Chains A and B, each alone.
Chain A
């Protein structure tokens, strides 16, 4: 089983996964937290990884699969390096987030659930991060863009590349 995983994930990712499981194994009801942390490390939770986690945590794989597919936070497919989240909450929807979603996908040339060929971007819908005052809202990576023009969502990519992308991690101010 481990062989399959080694093809997908790096040694470091798997080591961290093991550490997370070891840390929480004994705590009752910690499956959700374990899955959240592992997804943060590995990026997504494919079936083989789910089986691996289930085995280590002494749980039936069906339970792990059930939880992973129930919550929208978990993904079973890979995501782009920068996840573009388009808010489709009420306030944003009223201000044209449906169009933003469509145009953004057209701009990046990807469909739902796909990643751009260079692995940079994937687009998903998100439900209300609670910044309705700035509707419509798009989040790229960690950066939020408010009051996006539904006619020209591609503008924020320019902004993102200029302001954040090139120096990510080096200088936050």
Chain B
């Protein structure tokens, strides 16, 4: 950054500090406009010299190949990269193009045009009608039609009403909301203001996780700037409409992503979900009608208004319209945020955009929807991603976290990980979730330690189904999904742990023997070289021997062995 600023004065190139070009794989990166090239930058190198040598060439002639400091092959223009070519940018259209702290840049990209249109030309009912006909469904995971929610909230006569933006992105493995709040905060603000106009609310709140300090800062700057320009506050654009937004930093509780829990949290209480009905559209925050939507949902609104419902419907499938942002991580080659039309297949997402599995490993499973979602296998790769299709196979859209796993991940361990998460985050109000999940966790731990018995599988299943049916809120109802889906599709792995006392992926340390398979061993001695404890003795042309007393079970040897000879 510093180098860029020094240079920008000399070269008269305008430099924009931007957030996340969504190709985290290549980071840190810079993009050069108008050619739209992304260049990888290694901050450790002599960046200034490189820039002087190359920036002019890169900038002035779009036909010349871009040059990478890392000495990689040429980088094609952004539209031709496999990672980007299949994406449709609607919500993330401004990513990397604008400086989030500068409201003028958002306005220059047609920002606040939708709000202007709404305030000057449309009645609240028209706005709701437009959103309804666009078919937009809540991007937080459940997929409730947004237009219906607005209509319902507008229908109640109690005043005042509230708009809440749910930025409590708690799913581990999901970071699209963070990116949106940091890189395009005005889109969210505009969406909220339009919602406020449509349902008749004068006040909005954005609830942001405390783990996202930069998002809080960006949103606050954006709100302050919008107020200065009279795009928020009293009598917006002289239309007589008043709307204010306050930021509410959360304090780290996953369950606060649940709408009623979130509202209790804003009220300064423990965030524990309550029984519905009344739905929050009738009695939400402070018992007043409240419309709560996800960050991504609000970010969609301005464009639907500006470009029309039909334009929005041109993306996706008839039941699930528009695009969805997914955050890909795990064993794929390209990690980062991707925005694709609904209905794209899982295969296309992972292999075309994600670039396939990293290294030589084999695809094993993909986990969608965080701790509430399920794992899908190879046979599901060709199902289209929509709200309904994923639910049919025991997973869910969730907020859009996609964690890809290869054959070095143990599915029992994955189930244990998610159950542990749900146990930690359970609010403790209802028994099935509080106690049931702990019991599931202890069974899973037993299996991982090598003490599993055949009856455990049946017990896991019954228990999980009970929790699903009897839990109070979405967290509990969805928490057994990882266990159920792994039991369904990876039962053989559970059985290997229980019957053979072995972990096929070599993850569960207690089930690894740390012995050497004479058939596979090529006697190369690599294992002995990497062992940090000096537990492996090896002489040339002889089989190594592991001293199990010294061995710390760190698995360095397993990772080093190229022939899978250690089990």
**Residue positions of A touching B, CB distance < 8 A:** 28-33, 35-36, 63, 66-67, 70-74, 88-94, 99, 126-135, 151, 173
Contact = CB atoms under 8 A, between A and B. Distances in A.
10 contacts: A28-B286, A33-B268, A36-B251, A63-B269, A72-B252, A90-B329, A93-B172, A130-B178, A130-B179, A173-B1
B232 interface: no
A130 B175 contact: yes
A159 B271 CA distance: 39
Contacts of B170: 127-128
Contacts of A35: 251
B175 A131 contact: yes
Q: Which 3 A-B pairs have the closest CB atoms?
A: A133-B24, A89-B172, A130-B175
Contacts, number: 122
B249 interface: yes
Contacts of A67: 268-270
Contacts of B198: none
Contacts of B414: 94
Given A151-B554, A173-B2, A94 B330 contact: yes
Contacts of A130: 169, 174-175, 178-179, 211-212
Interface of B: 1-2, 24-25, 27, 169-175, 178-179, 210-212, 248-254, 265-272, 286, 327, 329-331, 335-336, 367, 370, 401, 403, 405, 409, 414, 417-418, 421, 427, 532, 554, 556
A127 B254 contact: yes
Given A90-B173, A173-B1, 18 more contacts: A30-B268, A31-B269, A71-B250, A72-B251, A90-B367, A91-B172, A91-B173, A91-B330, A91-B403, A94-B409, A126-B211, A128-B173, A128-B211, A129-B212, A130-B169, A131-B24, A133-B329, A134-B27
A94 B335 CA distance: 14
Nearest to B409: A94
Contacts of A70: 253, 270-272, 427
Nearest to A35: B251
A125 to B, nearest CB: 9
B252 A71 contact: yes
B405 A94 contact: yes
Contacts of A92: 172
A94 B270 CA distance: 31
Contact of A32 (B173, B174, B265, B409): B265
A31 B403 CA distance: 36
Contact of B27 (A31, A128, A133, A151): A133
B336 A133 contact: yes
B368 to A, nearest CB: 11
Contacts of B210: 36, 73
Contact of A151 (B1, B169, B250, B556): B556
Contact of B335 (A36, A73, A133): A133
A32 B336 contact: no
A66 B270 contact: yes
A128 B2 contact: no
Contact of B173 (A28, A74, A132): A132
A102 to B, nearest CB: 10
B419 to A, nearest CB: 13
Contacts of A99: 554
B173 A89 contact: yes
Contacts of A129: 211-212
A71 B266 CA distance: 13
